């Protein structure tokens, strides 16, 4: 249990605030408490494929005694969320063994954890997972690293947009990330004072949206409104708004423009609507205090799992504490979407926010693929 180990750590999938805090916790606990060697694997599976690693030490991470990792966004190890990983599975598996790793801590979302778990089973790796995603759709855990900061970023944006909306009597439509889960839009919409929240899990009508805007104007004298729409929300015909980028990847984007245009059309242009797509701004910035604490707890707990040689587990946050569950359970139950009958949805309705309508047939959810 206390024998010398060579521990690898990598970050996979889209970046988010708090990843560096988790790396810091893993390195600190593994080296100071157990005296292990820690290797950072750059760019996730690409680093294993290339047999690359960098030695990580506590004082090698600071700057003349100043520790920047708690407050630094992104990941010092780099990350990838695409590429022909499965086509190079044998070489990637061999990379783990070539680096003579005793165990590997993988920080990733549901797609990354599923892929790395598959490689671990094929290659005989000892793996422990840490969940991260601004979408907060990893199953079993109440929170994932990065979600809290992304919500705060959106709330700040809504606060700023409300002033220009009020100045021009406009409806500001804000398109958020989240893929086919509405957690980010729902949390930010409630905290940021949105008047309308549209998410993939709950059907809506533009009669309902425009009635909300009209009531704000006529009954309460509010000439502006904030509409938060998740990127995975569907059109009324059940379509996703997406585009194919220059690298051939299909991306969600454009539902905000659709909602804005339909609001103008349904009000016969009596309402002026403008769109803001925050995009990757939601992934950046200084991690919040909660994300720093969560990442630190996750990193420390993951190292302890390695010390107990309890592999094939994921550290999760349940009822205010860190526990571990089977990585298979997490992958089998992910992604998790918003419960249309849940507490937050009922809270939004109780606050007078339009968040779709009961009795409308639900739209078939998007098909998710692992990355």
Catalytic positions, please? 135
Q: What is the largest CA-CA distance in the chain?
A: 73
Nearest CA-CA partner of 116 in 96, 136, 139, 140? 96
CA distance 69 to 40: 14
Contacts of 32 (CB under 8 A, 6+ apart): 58
Which letter does DSSP use for residue 30 in this model? I
Q: Do residues 127 and 93 make contact, with C-beta atoms less than 8 angstroms apart?
A: no
- Output the six-digit token pair for 125: 């790796």
Distances (CA, A) of 246 to 79, 164, 225: 20, 34, 35
Describe the strand order of the beta sheet including 321-326 as a list of residue ranges: 54-56, 37-40, 6-11, 103-108, 127-131, 313-318, 321-326
Q: Do residues 18 and 113 make contact, with C-beta atoms less than 8 angstroms apart?
A: no
* Local structure of 137: helix, strand or coil: coil
R_g of the chain computed on alpha carbons: 22
Dihedral over alpha carbons 25, 30, 35, 37 (to 10 degrees): -100
CA distance 122 to 111: 17
CA distance 142 to 181: 14
Half-sphere exposure of residue 296, counting CA atoms within 13 Å on the CB side?
Answer: 11
Please count the other Cβ atoms lying within 10 Å of the Cβ belonging to residue 61.
17
* Local structure of 44: helix, strand or coil: coil
């Amino acid at each position: 249990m206390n024998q010398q180990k060579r521990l690898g750590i990598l970050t996979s999938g889209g970046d988010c605030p708090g990843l560096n805090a988790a790396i810091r916790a893993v390195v600190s606990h593994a080296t100071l408490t157990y005296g292990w060697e820690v290797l950072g694997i750059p760019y996730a599976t690409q680093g294993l494929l290339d047999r690359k690693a960098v030695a990580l030490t506590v004082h090698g991470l600071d700057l003349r005694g100043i520790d920047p990792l708690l407050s630094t966004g992104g990941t010092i190890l780099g990350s990838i969320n695409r590429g022909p990983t499965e086509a190079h599975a044998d070489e990637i598996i061999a990379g783990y063994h070539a680096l003579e790793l005793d165990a590997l801590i993988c920080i990733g979302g549901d797609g990354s954890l599923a892929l790395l778990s598959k490689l671990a089973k094929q290659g005989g790796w000892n793996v422990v997972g840490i969940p991260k995603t601004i979408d907060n759709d990893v199953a079993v855990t109440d929170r994932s690293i990065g979600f809290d900061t992304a919500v705060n970023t959106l709330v700040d944006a809504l606060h700023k947009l409300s002033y220009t909306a009020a100045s021009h009597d406009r409806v500001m439509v804000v398109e958020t990330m989240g893929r086919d889960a509405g957690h980010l839009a729902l949390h930010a919409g409630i905290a940021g004072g949105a008047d309308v929240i549209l998410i993939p899990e709950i059907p809506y009508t533009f009669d309902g949206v425009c009635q909300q805007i009209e009531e704000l104007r006529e009954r309460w004298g509010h000439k502006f409104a904030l509409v938060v729409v998740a990127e995975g929300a569907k059109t009324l015909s059940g379509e996703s708004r997406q585009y194919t980028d220059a690298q051939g990847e299909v991306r969600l984007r454009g539902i905000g423009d659709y909602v804005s245009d339909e609001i103008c059309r349904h009000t016969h242009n009596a309402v002026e609507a403008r769109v803001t797509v925050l995009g990757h701004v939601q992934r950046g910035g200084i991690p919040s205090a909660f994300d720093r604490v969560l990442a630190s707890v996750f990193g420390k707990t993951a190292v302890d799992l390695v010390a107990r040689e309890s592999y094939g587990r994921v550290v999760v946050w349940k009822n205010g504490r860190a526990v571990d569950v089977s990585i298979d359970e997490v992958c089998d139950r992910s992604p998790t979407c918003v419960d249309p009958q849940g507490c937050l949805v009922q809270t939004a309705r109780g606050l007078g926010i339009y968040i779709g309508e009961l009795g409308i047939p639900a739209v078939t959810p998007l098909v998710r693929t692992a990355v």
